[in-house]
Structures are given as C-alpha cells and as structure tokens.
Amino acid sequence: MTSHFIITSAIHTSYGKYSTEERINQTNDTLNSIETYAPHSSAVIIDCGEKSIDKDLFDCEVIDYTTHQEIQHHLQEYLRSNRDIEPDIIIKSMLEIMMFEDYLKTHSMDSYDRVFKISGRYKLNSKFDYYKHLEAKNKVVLLPPYYSQNLYNFDVKSTMFQYMTRCWSFDSSLLLNIIETYDKMKTDILYASRTEKQADIEHLLYRHLSKKLVKNVEVMGVEGYWAPMRGSWIDE
C-alpha cells in the first residue's frame, strides 16, 4: 500500500514564536519522522509563508503558494481591513485551508491508498500506529473531538467541538468528500475574514466533515512545539 503525506508549512512568517532556521530544522524533523514511522511514503511540502523558500532545503517536492493569485488576494484584503486582536488565527487558517484545497483539486491522488495531512514542524513518534490508518478503509482517521478552547464571535457557524488537525488521514477514495468539506470551510473562513468574526481549521473541520466518515483513534502519535507559545510541547 502506498501513502502520501501533505505537509502544510509557513517557513517565513512573522506569526508564531520560532525563527526561520528553527522552522526549517523542525520541518526536516517532520520528514525524517515520516521516513521512520511510515516508510516508503511520498511527501510534499505546501508552503504559504511571507516569502518563497529555497526548495533545496528539503528532500521532497516543495510547492510555493506565496504567489498564488487567489490566496494572496484574500490575504491582502484581510490585512488591509482587519481589526482583530489576534489576526494570526484567521491568517493561519485561511492560508492552510485554501492551499490544501487547491492542492487536492490540482493533483491526482489515484496512485495512493492513504493520504495524510501533517502540520510542518510536528513529527510522528513511536506511538504512531501506521497500520491503523492503512486499515481504515473509506474512513477519515482523526483524534476524538475536543471541547472548544475558545468562545468565538462566530454566530451560526459556531460549534462547541473541534478536531485536532496536526495530523490526520483519509482513504484516497474519499478525495471528493474532503474537497467538498474544504470548499465549505473556505467559504466560512473567508466570511469570517470579512466580517470581524473568528474561525479556525479545527472548528470548521468538525462542523463540515461528515461524522459518518470518521474513525477516531485515542492517540495519533504526533509531537512538536506549539507555535503560539514558545516551549509549549504537544504530544497527542
């Protein structure tokens, strides 16, 4: 069986607490962990930081979304008008949702059995059970939903639950379902960006992904430093 890891990235960014050099090193750790715990998988980095990255820094394909016309249009529109106290919440979610959706729409997944999404800078660890993902036919594998950590001003789109999205996977047969889900998430995040509302990937994925498709695992086996707070270690 073949797997494909999509690594979402923002190497050059003024948000978060880690330097560019640290982000490069942490993303190389991501790649090394995939080689260790999901051997023979392919990987791609999709990056939408504040400027293009040197593609020779990483031993895999790198796709540069910093010049993507639609993404940059919405980003600049938000930056011109936003009055959010924490704009990085919208920015991070907007960029990741839009580039992930675009990648899935423009690249064939036919040659893969399983597709993984992992956030750059996080890495798989010895608790990662690769075969649980491979055996989850026609399912999306996620951690169980968590209670919301934030009370967002987000009217009808609010939800008390969220999915942790640092690492998750789906059967490649569900590609169209995932694209449809991300289309809805994109609509909502752009709405939030124009209306002084708040939203993020975690809450929107819980809201729009069909629960019938989900298989929960109690431990994902992923770890890394949480970007908003330096020194805060995540292990889930």
pTM: 0.92
Q: Calculate mean pLDDT across residues 100-115.
A: 97
H/E stretch holding 171 reads strand 167-171
| DSSP letters for 97-160 | HHHHHHHHHHS--TT-SEEEEEETT-EE-TT--HHHHHT-TT-EEEPPPEE-S-----GGG--S
pLDDT for the residue numbered 14: 76
In this predicted structure, the answer to whether residue 156 has a pLDDT above a threshold of 50 is no
pLDDT for the residue numbered 225: 86
Distance separating alpha carbons of residues 94 and 75, to the nearest angstrom: 8
Strands 140-142 and 214-216: parallel
Mean pLDDT of the chain: 89
199 confidence band (pLDDT: 50, 70, 90):
confident
pLDDT for the residue numbered 134: 97
**Of 163 and 193, more confident:** 163
**Domains in the chain: boundaries:** 3-235
Q: Calculate mean pLDDT across residues 28-45.
A: 97
Instruction: Give residue 31's identity as a one-letter amino acid code.
Output: L
91 confidence band (pLDDT: 50, 70, 90):
confident
Distance separating alpha carbons of residues 232 and 52, to the nearest angstrom: 27
In this predicted structure, the answer to whether residue 155 has a pLDDT above a threshold of 90 is no
Quick one: what percent of the chain has pLDDT higher than 90?
A: 67
**Of 67 and 182, more confident:** 182
The CATH number assigned to the domain with range 3-235 reads 3.90.550
**pLDDT tens sequence across 8-26:** 998 988 766 788 999 999 9
Q: Calculate mean pLDDT across residues 12-41.
A: 91
